[in-house]
Amino acid sequence: MPLTVGIVGLPNVGKSTIFNALTRASVEASNYPFCTIEPNVGVVEVDDSRLTRLAEILQPSSRTAATIHFTDIAGLVQGANKGEGRGNAFLNDIRKVDALLHVVRCFADPTVSHVESDLEPVRDVAVVDSELLLADLQIVEGVLPTLEKVLSADRQSPRALELDVLQRIQAALGNGIAVRDLALSRAEAQAVSGYGLLSAKPMLYVANAGEGEGVEDGSGSEHVSALRNGLASEQILVFSAQIESELAQLAADERGAFAEELGIAESGVARLVQASYRLLGLLTFYTHAHDKLQAWQLPSGSGAAEAAGRIHSDMERGFIKAEVADMRELESAGSLASLRESGQLRVEGRDYIIRDGDVIQFLFRA
């Protein structure tokens, strides 16, 4: 399954422009609410210097970078949990993604209408976040009576943990606290994963700043400062959708010169992709099989069998062992054969915890 990040926010905040910059696509981005009706999906390669170095060492016939799928979701409006705007259709689009980029308008432009008539980033964030919490609360309150009956009839029911976690979630949502902020254990999160709770998804706030307002840190924008002060959150990335969209339309050899002219050390697209990677808690491992080199994403803390399953479910079921090379040792040795001869190619079992940068060959029963 591809890892997918949903781009959400109020109408006319720059979601589709950011999507176009990320994917170099050309979806409509007009000045009226609900310009994006059905979600647009684009695939973005993760820039990876290690993959380039590995290709130089291993000389494969082909190489494939890891990717992130970005979904441009229609603008949410107040009352979505009650059916306003696209209502449930919008919320269902969000349920399908792994994490959220919440785009917040931090640029003033009289030619681009604002759904709330004036520009207040902190209020705008509250509108979207509240709708997600209210949608979750409806789900939880709808299922709790049934679960409580199950547990009253059978105190030993395996759904006891599920009930306990949902009761805690209900209390938190009622107090305006998102599920992601409850620090649930892995077992607790798994117990309620089937409900697809929206506020459980990791979220990064993207402050869409205007041109000339500190496109990397927002230092020149009073609206970015207001957002930082209002959220007191480190999960804010400053991005100028307009500038990045213009950069995306240039040829590669022109892009660097234009960025340098604007004082941009690192493109917003690269920063956004890297932030999405961190948001999802991902690491990268590599495989070299049948003369093909490929980068794969995996949640941190995953075992070798799970890593094999990222490639194909049959490999996880038939897992025998994994031959693992450390990236730095491979660079020093110059080849997998040299590593094997020196005894540095490790053999690991299914519960081995994958490390970022591991180069792996899986052995499995077909």
What are the backbone dihedrals phi and psi of residue 109, each rounded to the nearest 5 degrees, phi first? -155, 105
pLDDT tens digits for 91-103?
778 888 889 999 9
Measured CA to CA in angstroms, residue 246 lies from 72, 104, 217, 229, 240 at distances of: 19, 20, 19, 30, 10
| Cβ atoms of residues 189 and 161 within 8 Å | no
Q: What is the mean pLDDT of the chain?
A: 84
Torsion over CA of 206, 209, 214 and 220, rounded to 10 degrees? -120
What's the burial of 348, exposed, middle or buried (CB within 10 Å: 0-12/13-18/19+)?
middle
| Cβ atoms of residues 352 and 324 within 8 Å | yes
Residue with tokens 């299922």: 143
Give the 3-state DSSP-derived string for the chain, with helices as H, strands as E and coil as C: CCCEEEEECCCCCCHHHHHHHHHCCCCCCCCCCCCCCCCEEEEEECCCHHHHHHHHHHCCCEEECCEEEEEECCCCCCCHHHCCCCHHHHHHHHHCCCEEEEEEEECCCCCCCCCCCCCCHHHHHHHHHHHHHHHHHHHHHHHHHHHHHHHHHCCCCCCHHHHHHHHHHHHHHHCCCCHHHHCCCHHHHHHCHHHCCHHHCCEEEEEEECCCCCCCCCCCCHHHHHHHHHHCCCCEEEECHHHHHHHHCCCHHHHHHHHHHHCCCCCHHHHHHHHHHHHCCEEEEEEEECCEEEEEEEECCCEHHHHHHHHCHHHHHCEEEEEEECHHHHHHHCCHHHHHHCCCCEEECCCCECCCCCEEEEEECC
14: left (phi over 0), alpha (psi -120 to 50) or beta: left
175: left (phi over 0), alpha (psi -120 to 50) or beta: alpha
| Cβ atoms of residues 205 and 227 within 8 Å | yes
What's the whole-number mean pLDDT along residues 24-44? Answer: 53
pLDDT tens digits for 200-238?
999 999 998 877 665 556 566 788 888 988 886 668 888
Best CA proximity match to 299, nearest among 271, 280, 320, 326: 280
Instruction: Please name each of the domains of the chain with its CATH number.
Output: 4-36+73-278 (3.40.50.300), 282-364 (3.10.20.30)
Give percent of the chain with pLDDT exceeding 90. Answer: 42
Measured CA to CA in angstroms, residue 285 lies from 48, 153, 162, 288, 313 at distances of: 11, 47, 33, 10, 17
What pLDDT is recorded for position 160?
Answer: 92
Residue with tokens 């020093």: 332
Task: Return the minimum-mean-pLDDT range out of 107-111, 120-124, 125-129, 217-221.
Answer: 217-221
Task: Return the minimum-mean-pLDDT range out of 133-147, 181-195, 262-276.
Answer: 262-276
What pLDDT is recorded for position 42?
Answer: 83
Does 153 have pLDDT greater than 80? yes
Question: For residue 230, how many other CB atoms are within 10 A of its CB?
Answer: 14
Confidence of residue 18 (pLDDT cuts 50, 70, 90): confident
Best CA proximity match to 277, nearest among 298, 249, 308: 298
